[in-house]
Homo-oligomer: A and B are copies of this chain.
Amino acid sequence: VVTKRELQRLKPELERILGSGNVLWDEKKLKEYSRDMADFRGDPVAVVRPGSTEELSRLVRLANRERIPIVPWGAGSSLTGAAISHAGVVVEMSRFDRIIEVDTVNWFVHVQAGVILDRLNRELEKSGFFFPPDPASSFICTVGGVLSEGAGGLRCVRYGTVKDWVLALKVVLPNGDVAIFGEPLPKNRAGYDLVHLFVGSEGTLGIIVEAWLKIQPIPYRRITRMMTHFHSWKPAVQAITRLRSERVQAALLEFMDGNTVKAVNRDFGTSFPVHPATLLIDLEEELVQKSLAIIRSCGAAEVVVAKNEEEAEAMYQARAWSYIAVRSEATGSRAEDVCVPITKLADYLTFVEKVSKRRRLKIVVHGHAGDGNVHPLILFDKNDRESVKRADAAFEDICEYAIRVGGTITGEHGIGSQKVRLLRKQLIAHGGAQPLKIMKAIKRMLDKRGIMNPGKYVEAA
């Protein structure tokens, strides 16, 4: 930790490095950077805004010398407290805002960490390319945040998550040194793979300043989008299982329960049919008939195929905005992020129902069913301590269940400060004593003075 007083002493040096306008500590600014999207809270002492790798490198060197905790900040759209600073300095990355190069022959984009994901995709679209991973926060989240979280999204059922799309990273290490890991090449076997060590490291091993990301031609094939509705989630899950075992690779395979659709209809003025379970599915033309036959044989109550772009887009938006719509129903919410084997999806949803009853909480469910990564959203009254306690207990119930059935406590949101104890439990239960030990040793080795996003994630587990 660092105190305001200690930082006062370093202010001249900080301002020399960053310029006086980029070292901020007025109360309003600090408040703005003191909470993330899921309302995890901290108490940063200052917010700094480096304008170049050189400046950031000098800043980190100073922080290392003075043992000042630093936490990189993209958009604060973390759902796990990963971007929250406790008595440290928030390193705001928005000035790293350049799309350096779109290479349409080698199929990569070279981009700075502060670029917002949707802006990147708008730029790529001009050349007919896209970057597939699409977290729901893509309208605000940054490339650096997405990489540090190893984020996922709706298109991942077909394209994989962020880790599958990174060729190389430029990183400012905890000692202030600058390193490039990987090569902007489709194939590279020179040395151990350190790129993937940094993807999903949640700002605990260094600060990502630039990335070389794979890009993909926008598919030229017409995709059919449909919403298929079921009387309960059991036949819906059966449909998912059958589609997979019959080798249907969907381009999108999302789940919404009735409460989700209701909330979306209410907040966005839409009128999607409300059934206990709805699947949103994208399919290539050739797979549509086969898939419809499977879906109907599983007892679908209603199937609506989008008739045009506009209808298709509305269906997508319904799912994309589910989290925002449902969240607004209560003063507090916790988003689960467990991922279970698809063969356990039915049991998992049964268990969530039980938890909802036992803990007397409304739990609304939607998410990436085709990946087994369905997000129950636990709603509670944040002003009622007893309700908060039950929500926390429900959250842990569901994570513990995931660990028991061979799932993971996090598919795409990460650990942050939220799931530290559960991380330890999962790693030891599934992998033995060594994986966590090795992770901790790597953290200590790279960040000897423990300044990078300390007290969270692997270090705290």
Q: Which residues does A use to contact B, with CB under 8 Å?
A: 103-107, 128-129, 149-150, 152, 156-157, 160-161, 163-164, 173, 177-181, 183-197, 199-201, 205, 216-218, 220-221, 241, 244-245, 247-249, 286, 337, 339-343, 368, 371-373, 406-415, 423, 426-427, 430-436, 438-439, 441-443, 445-446, 458, 461
Contact = CB atoms under 8 A, between A and B. Distances in A.
A373 to B, nearest CB: 5
Nearest to A433: B177
A456 to B, nearest CB: 12
A435 B179 contact: yes
Nearest to A337: B189
A339 B106 CA distance: 12
A408 B190 contact: yes
B161 A187 contact: yes
Given A191-B461, A195-B196, 17 more contacts: A105-B245, A106-B244, A106-B342, A160-B186, A177-B433, A183-B407, A185-B339, A185-B340, A187-B339, A187-B368, A189-B408, A189-B411, A191-B435, A194-B197, A194-B438, A442-B442, A442-B445
A433 B409 CA distance: 36
A204 to B, nearest CB: 9
Contacts of A410: 188-190
Given A192-B439, A247-B128, A186 B432 contact: no
Contacts of A161: 187
B187 A439 contact: no
A339 B186 contact: yes
A105 B185 contact: no
Contacts of A129: 247
A188 B410 CA distance: 6
Contacts of A218: 247
A413 B189 contact: yes
B432 A187 contact: no
Contacts of A194: 197, 435, 438-439
Contact of A187 (B156, B184, B188, B431): B156
A431 to B, nearest CB: 4
Most B Cβ at <10 Å: residue of A188, A368, A411, A426: A188
Contacts of A193: 150, 163, 196-197, 199-200
A185 B436 CA distance: 19
Interface-central residue, A193, A241, A342, by most chain B CB under 10 Å:
A193
A217 B446 contact: no
A190 B409 contact: yes
A143 to B, nearest CB: 17
